């Protein structure tokens, strides 16, 4: 792996770590610091990157800075903030105390023959966390700037409802 490519990828992980809680934070930062030393061989950079990927692969689903599949055009800083919000939403839903009641009445946006509801509060939490992340990434950059406000909220702007039709109907 080339040095510049390693720097780009590891800086993305640092950006993600700056915005998200991770129990391997200290270890990952230490390995990245060692990996970002200039003058190593491409094989050494590849080995460092393999170790970093392996460690991130041990993180719980949704809590890894490394994604599978194709790279996104969305900047890593924006993805990191969206992940942070997703994890906060998951934590909030998972902490619901009356879980049995919530599971009985909360349904996904689409109920199918195969999926009629959530089995556990963790399933519900994961569902809503993923929806929040997807909503934020879909909103960027049109109605969300990719950052959190000073109140640690997203500040996403909901689309304005067109009221011209309702005004015409009432006349």
DSSP string of 62-105? T--SPPSSSPPSS-HHHHHHHHHHHHHHHHHHHT-S-HHHHHHH
In a domain, 147, yes or no: yes
Phi, psi (rounded to 5 degrees) for 62? 85, -5
Q: Check residue 163 and give its pLDDT.
A: 61
In a domain, 27, yes or no: yes
CB 65 within 8 A of CB 56: yes
In a domain, 163, yes or no: no
As a whole-number percent, the residues of the chain with pLDDT over 70 amount to 91
Q: Which of 10, 40, 62 is the last residue of a domain?
A: 62
What 8-state DSSP symbol labels residue 170? H
- For residues 4 and 37, membership in a common domain is answered with yes
With H, G, I as helix, E, B as strand and everything else as coil, classify residue 48.
Answer: helix
In a domain, 5, yes or no: yes
As a whole-number percent, the residues of the chain with pLDDT over 90 amount to 64
- For residues 85 and 127, membership in a common domain is answered with yes
pLDDT tops 70 at residue 162: no
- For residues 81 and 148, membership in a common domain is answered with yes
Q: Which of 13, 44, 62 is the last residue of a domain?
A: 62
Q: Check residue 158 and give its pLDDT.
A: 76
Instruction: Please give the residue range of the domain that contains residue 133.
Output: 72-154
**Residues 18, 21, 22, CA angle at the centre, nearest 5°?**
105
Q: What predicted TM-score, i.e. pTM, was given to this entire model? A: 0.81
> If you average pLDDT over residues 70-83, what whole number do you get?
90
């Amino acid at each position: 792996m080339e040095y510049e490519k390693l720097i780009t990828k590891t800086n993305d992980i640092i950006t993600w770590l700056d915005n998200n809680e991770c129990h391997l934070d200290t270890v990952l930062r230490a390995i990245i610091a060692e990996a970002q030393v200039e003058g190593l061989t491409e094989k050494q950079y590849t080995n460092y990157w393999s170790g970093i990927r392996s460690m991130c692969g041990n993180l719980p689903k949704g809590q890894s800075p490394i994604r599978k599949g194709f790279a996104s055009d969305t900047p890593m800083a924006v993805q990191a903030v969206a992940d942070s919000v997703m994890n906060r939403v998951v934590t909030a839903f998972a902490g619901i105390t009356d879980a049995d009641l919530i599971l009985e009445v909360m349904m996904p946006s689409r109920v199918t023959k195969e999926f009629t509801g959530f089995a556990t509060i963790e399933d519900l939490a994961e569902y809503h966390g993923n929806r929040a992340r997807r909503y934020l990434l879909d909103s960027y950059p049109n109605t969300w700037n990719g950052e959190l406000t000073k109140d640690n909220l997203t500040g996403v702007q909901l689309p304005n409802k067109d009221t011209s039709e309702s005004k015409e109907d009432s006349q």
